[in-house]
Amino acid sequence: MDETQELVTNRLFKDIAVGEKSDLTEILTRDNADLLGGWQPDGAGVETASVSQSVASVWIGILVMRLVSTRFPGVGSVMRSYALTLTGGLSVGDQVVVTCQVMAKHEADALLDLSFVCVRQDGGEVARGTMQIVAPEAPQSVVMACSSFEHIVTHRRFRALCEKAAQLPVLPIAVAYPCDDLSLRSACDAAKRCLGQPILVGPKALIESVAKESGLSIEGLEIVEAEDPHTASAQAVALVRSGRARMLMKGAVHTDVLLHEVVARPTGLCGERRLSHVFVMDVPFYDRLLMISDAVVNIAPDVRAKHDIVQNVIDFAHVLGLAEPRVAILSAVETVNPAIQSTLDAAVLSKMADRKQITGGIVDGPLAFDNAVNLNAARIKHIESPVAGQADIVIVPTLEAGNMLAKELSFLAGADAAGVVLGAKVPVILTSRADSEQARLTSCAIALIMAHGMT
């Protein structure tokens, strides 16, 4: 282990006593406040050292969850309920001690009733609340990243991917119609971070105008003239087919317009399998990257399409360095039910993996999402599976389910999501207006890693 890691051992239900306490101390830094939404403006609109209630509640919530998930009871804990009430103000520079105490134990289902209180360095109370936790029933020790706040909220796994990609030779990337601030900024950021050499495909005058208005330098970047989004998409795909570009990136163009050119025959970029998309999620309290497929391309895939989706993402995981990724085929339940098509598909896909019709990963399903990512949840339901609780990849039943899952993790669990289209002859990056800068950079990074892996 290096200095950024620590060995964490959980506490079992049987060993925890009513009245027992545990605490965690953290300082609210300026960077913390900026990452969570900034400081609180005063009546004149000037930023002060105090933070808003929303920033305070999220920051305290992260501290409480970190205490529960890594210290007490620790790894394998499952939260059943959580309530937080702010009782005081919080400012940048405040040191806060979070103290949790066991108020009651429920033997029947290994439940703990916890209370917590958060106090500033001056003794002033900031918040208090309650939780109900399913405590771990089996000992588990894991090496985790050092639990400083910055490691949780700045998505260290994404930064590691960007750092890995930046060590690779830069490859040209065709950017289709980068004619708004976001798409042109994404291309410029990729160039600045050595994650791609953009070829900008679109109206030169409009691209230059956007660059000027946004304060972006496009000096030295090649511009290929194309008058509209459809033409730009076709031209960008043609650049890839000719070998002048090794990656393709969506600009200010609708996804379906770009993908129409990608799948067009014989001028497109289709490979041997159906196209699919993968979201690579950096979830703060999950101990690995989580890949979700398919939440963008295939609306309601049948089992034949799901075969390609599974194989595409397994091959992608290999490129990222996972020798044998664990793949959970998701449904609403863990048993095969003829009334629920996704359970039947999951059973078929699992058997296809057993028979080597899907290769390179450990595939199991049907699994509900909680059982796929939480080992204790799987144990409570007596699920024996080599995938349960430690999935690297989750295969969703429909685009709607995947889209909702990815956005729930992003907006409620503090996750960040990068994404790329799989199954084409080159990586295809689909940026979104809601993507953070880190997510956009990581999408470029994984595309560059893929492109080198496809040579």
The confidence score (pLDDT) of residue 171 equals 96
Three-class secondary structure of residue 351 per DSSP = helix
Q: What is the mean pLDDT of residues 203-209?
A: 95
Catalogue all structural domains in the chain, each as residue range(s) with its CATH number.
Answer: 5-153 (3.10.129.10), 172-263 (3.40.50.10950), 276-423 (3.40.718.10)
The confidence score (pLDDT) of residue 46 equals 39
Tell me 170's DSSP state.
Answer: P
Q: Over the stretch 272-330, which tens digit does the pLDDT of each residue have?
A: 899 999 999 988 767 789 999 999 999 999 999 999 999 999 999 999 999 999 999 99
110 compared with 261, residue with greater pLDDT: 261
* Residue 102 confidence (pLDDT) above 60: yes
Identity of the amino acid at 240: V
Strands 21-27, 95-106: parallel, antiparallel or unpaired by DSSP? antiparallel
Three-class secondary structure of residue 388 per DSSP = coil
- The total of other beta-carbon atoms located within 10 Å of residue 63's CB is 23
Cα dihedral 29→33→38→42 (10° resolution)? -60
* Residue 259 confidence (pLDDT) above 50: yes
Binning pLDDT at 50, 70 and 90, where does residue 150 land? Answer: very low
Q: Are 195 and 448 in contact (CB under 8 A)?
A: yes
The confidence score (pLDDT) of residue 177 equals 96
Mean pLDDT for all residues in the chain:
87
The confidence score (pLDDT) of residue 376 equals 73
Q: What is the mean pLDDT of residues 64-72?
A: 83
Three-class secondary structure of residue 362 per DSSP = strand
* Residue 42 confidence (pLDDT) above 70: no
Task: Mean pLDDT check: name the lowest of 64-68, 310-314, 405-409.
Answer: 64-68
Which has the closest alpha carbon to 359: 326, 392, 314, 299? 314
Identity of the amino acid at 1: M
Q: Over the stretch 352-399, which tens digit does the pLDDT of each residue have?
A: 999 999 999 999 999 999 999 987 788 788 898 999 989 999 999 999
Q: Are 131 and 14 in contact (CB under 8 A)?
A: no
Q: What is the mean pLDDT of residues 232-255?
A: 95
**Residue 146: burial class (beta carbons within 10 Å; 0-12, 13-18, 19+):** middle
Task: Mean pLDDT check: name the lowest of 81-85, 140-144, 221-225.
Answer: 140-144
Three-class secondary structure of residue 296 per DSSP = coil
Q: What is the C-alpha to C-alpha distance for residues 190 and 188, in angstroms, rounded to an integer? A: 5
The confidence score (pLDDT) of residue 238 equals 96
The confidence score (pLDDT) of residue 323 equals 94
Q: Are 367 and 329 in contact (CB under 8 A)?
A: yes
- The total of other beta-carbon atoms located within 10 Å of residue 337's CB is 15
55 compared with 309, residue with greater pLDDT: 309
The confidence score (pLDDT) of residue 315 equals 96
* Residue 436 confidence (pLDDT) above 70: yes
Q: What is the mean pLDDT of residues 112-129?
A: 92
Q: What is the mean pLDDT of residues 50-55?
A: 82
The confidence score (pLDDT) of residue 6 equals 58
Identity of the amino acid at 126: V
Q: How far is CA 1 from CA 146, 258, 285, 390, in A?
A: 10, 45, 19, 21
Buried b (16+ CB within 10 A) or exposed e, 35-54: bbeebbeeeeeeeeebbbee
Q: Are 56 and 49 in contact (CB under 8 A)?
A: no
* Residue 98 confidence (pLDDT) above 60: yes
